[in-house]
Structure 1
Amino acid sequence: MNHLICALILTLSLGCGAALAADEAPKKESSPAQKAQQEKMKNCNKEAGEKDLKGDERKAFMKECLSAKAAAPQANQRDKMKTCNKEAGDKGLKGDERKAFMSDCLKN
């Protein structure tokens, strides 16, 4: 009987140790897109809470809020493209030189 109890305790302690080791495994870093989505979710959730929305009303709000596109970054990218295009034209760049310039310009 004592052997059975000891075996049971040993089995449980080994199982718990393995579970703890699995929890300590390094976690994969979130991608920038995932981080942006998490931030968006946090902001939408906060806004829904401030409006005190519940049930279907909250679901509808969250769906709309999370699917909304951010207008500012698109406008910013459009302005950047316009500026880089003008600079490339002023410099008279063509072909691969223009592609390389545009790539560098749009990254900055």
Structure 2
Amino acid sequence: MKIMIALVAITFSMSNAFAADQVKKTPSPAQQAQQDKMKACNADAGNKALKGDERKKFMSECLSSKPASATQQDKMKACNADAGNKALKGDERKKFMSECLKADKQ
């Protein structure tokens, strides 16, 4: 009986660990912008057929350049959607929106 209970407990804990690994987090707007920038820089380097040190230098310069500023309205939409996905309400939502909009200004 003890062995059976131990097997059930092990199976249950393994299934929970597996399920936790399967949850995919959505990137924040800032993370998504960085991913998009990486894709664009990589595509540009590929189009220019850059290799080796030349490619490394190009990628470094491309990634360190400032992105085109999003409009305030775009920032509000992205932060608002993120707050909605997190089901935030009241003061929690206000705090999140404030931090989100400040983070996008950098």
TM-score band, normalised by shorter chain: 0.3 to 0.5
Q: TM-score, normalised by structure 1?
A: 0.46
Q: Which has the higher contact order (CA 8 A, sep 6+)?
A: 2
Q: Which has the larger radius of gyration?
A: 1
TM-score by length of 2: 0.47
